[in-house]
Amino acid sequence: MNADVIIVGGGIIGCAAAYNLAKDGVSVIVLEGSANIGNGGSVRNGGGVRQSGRDPRELPLIMYAIKNIWPNLSDLLDTNVEYHQQGNLRLGHSEKNKQILEGLTERAVKCDLDVRMITGDEAREINPYLSDAVTCASWCPTDGHANPLTATMGYYKAARRLGAHFISDEKIVELRKIKGRVCQAVSASGNIYEGSKIILAAGYESRYIASTVGVDIPMQPVLLETLVTEAVSPMFWQMLGTADADFYGHQTDHGSFVFGLNCGLEPYAKPGKPVSSSIASSAACRGIMRYFPSLEDIKVIRCWAGWMDSCADHVPVISPVEEAKGLILACGFSGHGFGISPAVGLVLSQMAQDKETVLDMHELRYDRFRP
Ligand SMILES: Cc1cc2nc3c(=O)[nH]c(=O)nc-3n(C[C@H](O)[C@H](O)[C@H](O)COP(=O)(O)OP(=O)(O)OC[C@H]3O[C@@H](n4cnc5c(N)ncnc54)[C@H](O)[C@@H]3O)c2cc1C
């Protein structure tokens, strides 16, 4: 099968790129290796749409997405992506935490982000459910959160309405060059898909697939875990995080709280299917209750896990490849690709059409790891 652009990977990055390309009248085929669109990190994530705490190389993407795309995304996709922009509180309880938050804040202010340090009392004015354990916080009023499931499915459905073709259960095992250009993607069942550009957005699997045309991106899979509580009456809409990075989360439109977790044992997860450990949820709940004692009696109803594609320098590779012309890489999102996905989808569609990108992407080039 042929199309102008072949996209490998049906996560939010592949779906957002497909949507933007189809909107411009470009023919697209998206190949998803599993039975379900969004089966990777895209529908398993914590929904954070935050600028604060980001690497400066990634900040322009998220600032662009928050200014220009997220506020209208529900209308654009005709799907409620449950976007809330009521700010991000990153909480601290010690002098060491304060130093971490000050460092992150200073770095972001230099990139013109509206983020500032506040006291524990000022944080409690913003969120009265916070305990006295909070002694400092960083506050970014333009951060927020959204629903990863409806956002991913929203892009998928909108792309299909515009003519993009999706094929699931089609695992790509090899890319091939013809006359020096990468233009074919070959599936495990032997099907060949040909296009003048191939966007590789297959999460960690992108590493193996890119290696078939001699390109290596240093990344590794790392497990991330999330929990969801029963639904309760609305309490607050801010996105939360901590200086210790032990949990982050928010309350959803449905009333449940979704918290992402980090207990420090993630690098030791067993390879294969992503499975929640018995440790992360209870460890994170202790942290959550310390800051939010009023959540103490709310029941945790489910937890799940997902792999992130952790890049060696913790920011993604979003880049055409000089020595493998035709190939465009979109991988290594390192656990924060959801918030930036609307901007990444736009930039990828511009790269695939050889247009100038709305943002300068040279900091996220594939060859930055060269000596
Ligand atoms: C638990 C968790 C919490 C997170 N929290 C946040 C957050 O709060 N905020 C944020 O911004 N980000 C967060 N992230 C990260 C975010 O989810 C990812 O960065 C983002 O979803 C990346 O999207 P993607 O489309 O590149 O990857 P994926 O969603 O992983 O999509 C890749 C797709 O490629 C498919 N694929 C793999 N191999 C092949 C193959 N050989 N052939 C064809 N298809 C293939 C996979 O099945 C998958 O569907 C979190 C991630 C996890 C796991």
**In this model, does residue 318 exceed pLDDT 90?**
yes
Asked whether residue 165 falls in the same domain as residue 213, the answer is yes
CATH of the domain at 41: 3.50.50.60
Confidence band, pLDDT 50/70/90 cuts, at residue 206: very high
Q: Is residue 71 part of a domain?
A: no
Kindly state the average pLDDT of the residues 6-28: 98
- The sign of the CA dihedral 343, 349, 350, 351 is positive
State yes or no: pLDDT of 339 exceeds 90: yes
Mean pLDDT (whole number) for 309-316? 97
Contacts of 60 (CB under 8 A, 6+ apart): 111, 359, 360
Closest listed residue to residue 2, CA positions, set 191, 258, 142: 191
Give 208-251 pLDDT, tens digit per residue.
Answer: 999 999 999 999 999 999 999 999 999 999 999 999 988 999 99
- Same domain as 226, residue 179: no
Cα first-last separation, the chain: 39
Confidence of residue 277 (pLDDT cuts 50, 70, 90): confident
Are 345 and 297 in a shared domain?
no
| Separation CA 153–CA 135 (nearest Å) | 40
Q: Could you tell me which of 152, 168, 161 has the C-alpha nearest to residue 38?
A: 152
What one-letter code names the amino acid at 185? A
Residue 62 within a domain:
no
Q: How far is the CA of 119 from the centre of ligand 1 (A)?
A: 35
308 CA from centroid of ligand 1 (Å): 6
Which of 205, 206, 258 to mutate for ligand 1's pocket (most ligand atoms within 8 Å of CB)?
A: 205
Same domain, 38 and 107: no
Q: Which residue of 6, 7, 13, 43 sits with most ligand 1 atoms within 8 Å of its CB, as the best mutation to test the pocket?
A: 13
Q: Is the pLDDT of residue 295 over 90?
A: yes
Is the same domain home to 267 and 202? no
* Residues 168 and 291 occupy one common structural domain: no
Q: How far is residue 87 from each of residues 68, 136, 198, 294, measured CA to CA in Å? A: 17, 16, 37, 21
Percent of the chain with pLDDT over 90: 92
d(CA 67, CA 143): 10
Is 326 domain-assigned? Answer: yes
Residue 340: inside a domain: yes
Cβ of 337 closer than 6 Å to ligand 1, yes or no, is yes
74 residue type, one letter: S
The verdict on 131 and 228 lying in the same domain is: yes
Confidence at residue 26, expressed as pLDDT on a 0 to 100 scale: 98
Cα 169 to ligand 1 centre (Å)? 16
Between strands 48-49 and 144-145, the pairing is: antiparallel
Q: What are phi and psi of 274, to 5 degrees?
A: -70, 120
Distance CA 18, CA 330 (A): 13
The mean of the pLDDT values for the chain is: 96
Q: Which of 271, 295, 311 is the last residue of a domain?
A: 311
CATH number of the domain within which 135 lies = 3.30.9.10
Nearest Cα residue to atom 37 of ligand 1: 202
110 lies in some domain: yes
Atom number in ligand 1 closest to CA 304: 1
The residue assigned the tokens 């609305």 is 234
Listed residues 311, 329, 350: the one ending a domain: 311
Residue 350 lies inside a defined structural domain of this protein: yes
Domain of residue 135, residue span: 88-141+220-311
Do 233 and 304 reside in the same domain of the chain?
Answer: yes
Nearest CA to ligand 1 atom 3: 45
Residue 370: the pLDDT is: 82
Number of domains observed in the structure of the chain:
2
Q: What is the largest CA-CA distance in the chain?
A: 66
Residue 44, ligand 1, Cβ within 6 A: yes
Q: How confident is the model at residue 268 (pLDDT cuts 50, 70, 90)?
A: confident
In a domain, 122, yes or no: yes
Q: Are residues 224 and 303 in the same domain?
A: yes
Q: Are the C-beta atoms of 50 and 114 separated by less than 8 Å?
A: no
For 180-208, give the DSSP string. Answer: TEEEEEEETTS-EEE-SEEEE--GGGHHH
* 269 part of a folded domain: yes
Q: Is 305 found in the same domain as 224?
A: yes
Question: Do 323 and 364 fall within a single domain?
Answer: yes
Checking if the pLDDT of 371 tops 90, the result is: no
Residues 295 and 243 in one domain: yes
Torsion angle, CA of 27/29/30/35, rounded to 10 degrees? 140
Condensed to tens digits (0 to 9), the pLDDT of residues 136-161 reads 999 999 999 999 999 999 999 999 99
pTM value is 0.97
